[in-house]
Amino acid sequence: MTTPGSHYFDEDPTAESSPRDIALLLPDATFTLTTDRGVFGYEHIDGGTKLLLLRAPAPAAVGDLLDLGCGYGPIALTMARRSPEATVWAVDVNERARALCVANAERNGLANIRVCAPDDVPPDVRFATIWSNPAIRIGKPALHSMLMRWLGLLAIGGEAVLVVHKHLGSDSLQAWLTSAGHAAHRHGSSGGYRILRAGAKVVD
């Protein structure tokens, strides 16, 4: 929930804080997560996020992994639990979301998560796996530039797994990713959500 004129992707949400706890139940993990107003998914775990967590192939076991647009952290925490030897970078522009993600990682005993603003990720980090429920509502130009920036940091052989609703342009996004050199295919779909898998750019 946001106040009029504010968005879940604001850097500093103006919505009055009203934290609440929600449960994320997966076959292999259970988390209690604190969320808040002014952050995406305040009421419940987003349906697309849940589908991604149920269907995505296992993240790389080691190396650097990325949750692009971490919100309060359901994706980052799941990656960290499934790949305890890896380092999970949880990135978001929303300061309140980052604070929640830090607290949720700590509360759930996960020490392999680094939460930071996008520009605070060291420039030499390359990601073996990227998972994201991307912020489609920032608009197509901003979305495309965000995806080019981060998918461009995939390690050789690395893979991004994205969840996007068909009404929010999943099919055109798949085509655009492929045209941009990140061969993308549909891994699964349910309830209108598509899971897309996109590879690192092939360099000759």
Ligand X SMILES: C[S@@+](CC[C@H](N)C(=O)[O-])C[C@H]1O[C@@H](n2cnc3c(N)ncnc32)[C@H](O)[C@@H]1O
Residues within the interface to ligand X (CB under 6 A): 8-9, 40-41, 46, 49, 68-71, 74-75, 91-94, 97, 118, 133, 135, 138, 146
Coil, helix or strand for 122? Answer: coil
By Cβ distance, which residue is nearest to ligand X? 69
Amino acid at 24: L
Q: How far is the CB of 89 from ligand X (least distance, A)?
A: 11
In DSSP notation, 49-78 reads: HHHHHHHSPPPPSSSEEEEES-TTSHHHHH
To the nearest whole angstrom, how small is the minimum distance from the Cβ of residue 71 to ligand X?
A: 3
Judged by CB, which is closer to ligand X: 133, or 174? 133
Considering the complex, state which of residue 104 and residue 174 has its C-beta at the smaller distance from ligand X: 104
- In angstroms, rounded to a whole number, what is the distance separating the alpha carbons of residues 202 and 143? 21
Q: Residue 203 and residue 192: Cα distance in Å, rounded?
A: 33
Widest CA span of the chain, in angstroms?
A: 51
> Which DSSP symbol is given to 5?
T
Task: Work out how close the CB of 145 gets to ligand X at its nearest, in angstroms, rounded to a whole number.
Answer: 8
- Which DSSP category does 200 fall into? P
CB of 21 to ligand X, least distance (A): 15
Among residues 39, 93, 84, 33, the alpha carbon closest in space to that of 63 is found at 84
Cβ distance to ligand X smaller for residue 116 or 204:
116
Shorter beta-carbon distance to ligand X: residue 150 or 174: 150
Q: Phi/psi at 63 (nearest 5 deg)?
A: 95, -160
Q: Report the nearest approach of ligand X to the CB of residue 158 (Å).
A: 18
Closer to ligand X at the Cβ: 91 or 161? 91
